[in-house]
A and B are shown apart, each in its own frame.
With several copies, the nearest count.
Chain A
Amino acid sequence: MKILYFAWLRERVGLAEEDVTLPAHITDIAGLITWQRDRGPGFAAAFAPGGQVRCAVDQEFAGHDTSIAGAREVAFFPPVTGG
C-alpha cells in the first residue's frame, strides 16, 4: 500500500511517500495511526495523540474509522488550508 504525507506531517516523518506492507491485523485508519507511532520519533511526533491528523483513502477524505481493506493509497495530512 502507498502512504503519502503532506505539509507538516511530511516534514515530521521525513517522507513524502512510501510503499508499505502492513501487518494483517491493521484494518482501519485508527489501527494504522497506532502502528505509525512506533516507527520512530518523527512518526511518533507526527501521529501524537490529540494531534490534528486528517486522512484520505484512495483520494477521498476519510474518518479514522474508515476501513483500509483493499486500499491502494492512504494519505495523512493536517486540516486543509487552501483558498
Chain B
Amino acid sequence: MSSTIMRRILVQTADFDTGAQLACLEARPGVGGIASFVGTVRGQTGGKTLTALTLEHYPGMTERALTGIAQQAEARWPLLGCIIIHRVGTLPPGARIVLAAAASAHRQAALEATGFLIDWLKTNAPFWKREDFTDHTTNWVEARAADHEAASRW
C-alpha cells in the first residue's frame, strides 16, 4: 500500500500555508484524522528579547535526514500521508519555523506519528538556530537534554 502514502519533505526560506498543507492530507482517500505541529519563533528567551532567529542547515544531508525520519514514521504507524516543512534563513519573532503533520485512518496513529516526527526532527536533522537579541548579542541555541529524552521515548 506504500504507493498510496503521500510524503512531502520541504526545506525552504519561504513561509508555508498551514491550512493548505493540511488540506492535502485531508483529501487523501481513507483519511479520518490529521494531526499537526507548527513551531514558531518566540519573541523572548531567557528573559531577553529576540530580533531574529537564524536557521542554518546542511544542504543535501537535511533532505536525506528528513526523508529517513518520515520513512521511520511510515514504518511504525499506518500512515496515509506525512509532511515535514522546515524553514531556513533569518526569521522574525512570530514566524512559522516548522510544520510536521501526519494523516491516518484513525486519530491515535496520526497524533503519535506527529509527536515522533517533531521529536526526531529536533535531534536527528542537521539544523542549527542562532538567536539575535535586541541588546545586539547573539547566541547559538544549545541542544536540550529534554529533547533527547523526548526522542528516545519512541
A59 neighbours in B (Cβ, 8 Å): 58, 60-61, 64
In the bound complex, do residue B121 and residue A82 qualify as a contact, i.e. CB atoms below 8 Å apart?
A: yes
* Residue A4 at the chain B interface, CB threshold 8 Å: yes
Whether A82 contacts B127 in the complex (CB less than 8 A), given A7-B140, A8-B140, comes out as yes
With A79-B143, A80-B127, A83-B118 already in contact, the answer to whether A56 and B97 are too (CB < 8 A) is no
Is A75's CB within 8 Å of the partner chain B?
Answer: yes
B-side interface residues, number (CB < 8 Å): 29
A77 close to chain B: CB less than 8 A: yes
| Least CB distance, B56 to chain A, in whole angstroms | 6
Q: How many Å from the CB of B9 to the closest CB on chain A?
A: 13
If the complex has contacts A59-B60, A82-B98, are A6 and B126 also in contact, measured as CB distance less than 8 A?
yes
Q: Which residue from chain A places its CB closest to the CB of B127 in the assembled complex?
A: A82
Contacts of A61 in B (CB 8 A): 65, 124
Chain A residue numbers with a CB within 8 Å of B125 are: 80, 82-83
The contact sample of 20 A-B pairs, CB cut-off 8 A, is: A6-B58, A10-B56, A56-B61, A60-B64, A79-B142, A79-B143, A80-B122, A80-B124, A80-B125, A80-B127, A81-B128, A81-B129, A82-B57, A82-B121, A82-B125, A83-B86, A83-B97, A83-B107, A83-B121, A83-B125
A-binding residues in B (CB < 8 A): 39, 55-58, 60-61, 64-65, 86, 97-98, 107, 118, 121-130, 140-143, 147
| For the complex of A and B, 10 pairs with smallest distance between CB atoms | A82-B127, A79-B143, A7-B128, A59-B61, A83-B122, A81-B141, A8-B140, A81-B129, A83-B121, A82-B125
